[in-house]
A and B are shown apart, each in its own frame.
Chain A
Amino acid sequence: MSKHDMNQGSTTPRRGAQRHHISFKSKSHGWLRHNRVVALDALRRMFLTPVATLMTLAVLAVSLALPGFLMTAVNNIQQFSEGFDANPRIALYLKTSVSDARAEQFSLELMLNPALSGVELIDREKGLQEFSSYSEFANLLELFDTNPLPAVVLALPLDHSPHMLQALQSELLALPEVEEAQLDLEWIQRLNAYVVLAERFSWVLSALLGLAVLLVVGNTLRMLLESRRDEILVAKLVGATDAWVRRPFLYSGFWYGLIGSLFAIVMVSFAIHLIDQPVTELMSLYASRFELEGLGFKGGFTLMVVGATLGLLGGFLSTGHHLREIEPDDR
């Protein structure tokens, strides 16, 4: 292994990297080996102080789980609202005084309206059937001698722009047979607006909690750095580069972020499990075949990448300036 020999005692002047007779291949091997050793050592050090490590990880996990949970929730609501027909409909509740035949005639007349793409009549008999099959209040109907439900005509407008819909709504409301004209889109539009708001909200919250992750990792690593001060001094004295000294702390940050995010995934999955049943019950009321979705592979993977990246970044930020200040001085 003579190629590893330093050029000790030589009289020929040499400069720069030539002086080290360590080949590039052996150097890159050394680099990889050092990374592996340091990565494992950083992990091992976490287990040396299990309580402190667990506390830190718990804080990180909560900070990561909250955005993870919110994003999942928003995602689910989006899925839910997409499940509905986004085509606007105007439900025309006819006056009870309008006879079945007249209702039929009325719906046929509406078909000639050029602003409508389609018309569907739900006559009083059909309305009664649907009401009793879908509603828990079916037995209420027994209290009535006659069918209390009005005939309903569902009109599908061609133009979906809000003001045209509103104009059409009032136009149809003005018809003598119509008791009430309800624009069906309103609640879904409102829901969509709420979803957008919730999404924004969860982004803002995620950013704040991401900052919390950075600070927690940064603070933890600064304490770790302080506890290894002597080692850093000696390493610098015998020729360690800044990168070499910094590496263990970057790995520590990485592990904190990664393991914290794994804990967070467990938390989110548990939370979703907790609300799964009530949500399913609620959805059955809406006659929806909606199923609650968890984080999934993509969500979990994203959370891990975000966690590890934030940890690494925390390592960079907390050690960068501080490490330069620690310089060997024998006094």
Chain B
Amino acid sequence: MAAIQFLNVGKRYSEGHDALIGVDFTLESGEMAFLTGHSGAGKSTLLKLIMLMERASRGHVLVGDEDLGALPRRLVSWHRRRIGVVLQNHQLLFDRSVFANVVMPLEIAGYAPEDAARRVRAALDKVGLLNREKHNPITLSSGEQQRVGIARAIVHKPQVLLADEPTGNLDPELSEGVMRLFEQFNRIGTTVLIASHDLSLIHRMRKRTLVLKNGRLVSGV
């Protein structure tokens, strides 16, 4: 069964710039893949379409058999709860603790506090930050901050995990650690799609790699 499916997807921004042209691919449920290409090739746009941060101008984007083009605005929030997302600028909130950052998706989904706390600790444990739950994320290193972001992305056990340049500002050793983390989540059944331009790292991971060039998918289909 397909977790993510792009059928002849095009995205044209209002200025007339084509970010994606005729993109066709299928990511099976439980698969892990990389998305690469030069900057401006459309990696972020492709992820945004999956998150419904943007809508496709042409074609169909399906997530778990749901055609996102037909999804009404009021169901966008429900759709986003199925997906975990890690962004390069990890978007942590510095006015609250690590714990409070990670618990947000569970609060929004309406989990009972005790249940949520248990899940947050499990997620922090997985990324190796259990002893940091009371810290403010601003006191953590950038590698640790990135891992808090990952914990927040996986705390509600999403079907799909997306990452946009998750190792963008990390040194090679930390980057490798983060990638292994994604691999672990993939092993327990989560579909993972990672946008990255770190080619050497991608080669070492030996996963399927989708390559975008000027908005077209040129390899990995």
Residues on A close to B: CB < 8 A?
Answer: 1, 4-9, 11, 13, 15, 17, 19-20, 22, 26-27, 29-31, 33-34, 230-231, 233-242, 244, 327-331
Contacts and interface: CB of A to CB of B under 8 A. Distances in A.
22 contacts: A6-B157, A6-B158, A6-B159, A11-B29, A13-B1, A15-B65, A19-B82, A20-B109, A22-B109, A22-B111, A29-B112, A34-B110, A231-B93, A234-B91, A237-B85, A237-B91, A238-B152, A239-B105, A242-B74, A329-B53, A330-B87, A330-B89
B192 to A, nearest CB: 12
B138 to A, nearest CB: 13
Contacts of A19: 82
A235 B85 CA distance: 12
Contact of A244 (B44, B65, B85, B108): B108
A167 B66 CA distance: 87
Contacts of B197: none
Contacts of A7: 159
B184 to A, nearest CB: 14
Given A13-B65, A237-B85, A8 B158 contact: yes
B93 A234 contact: yes
Contact of A9 (B48, B51, B88, B188): B188
Contact of B104 (A26, A27, A234, A327): A234
Nearest to B188: A9
A6 B80 CA distance: 13
B81 interface: yes
B145 interface: no
A9 B104 CA distance: 22
A13 B1 CA distance: 8
A17 B107 CA distance: 17
Given A29-B112, A30-B111, A15 B77 contact: no
B159 A9 contact: yes
A330 B30 contact: no
Interface in B4-48: 29-30, 44, 48
Contact of B115 (A4, A234, A329): A4
A22 B110 contact: yes
B209 interface: no
A264 B29 CA distance: 61
Interface centre among A8, A31, A328 (most CB of B within 10 A): A8
B155 to A, nearest CB: 9
A131 B138 CA distance: 86
A9 B53 CA distance: 24
Contacts of A5: 157
Given A31-B110, A244-B108, 12 more contacts: A6-B157, A8-B189, A9-B30, A15-B65, A20-B78, A22-B109, A22-B111, A235-B104, A238-B80, A238-B85, A242-B74, A330-B89
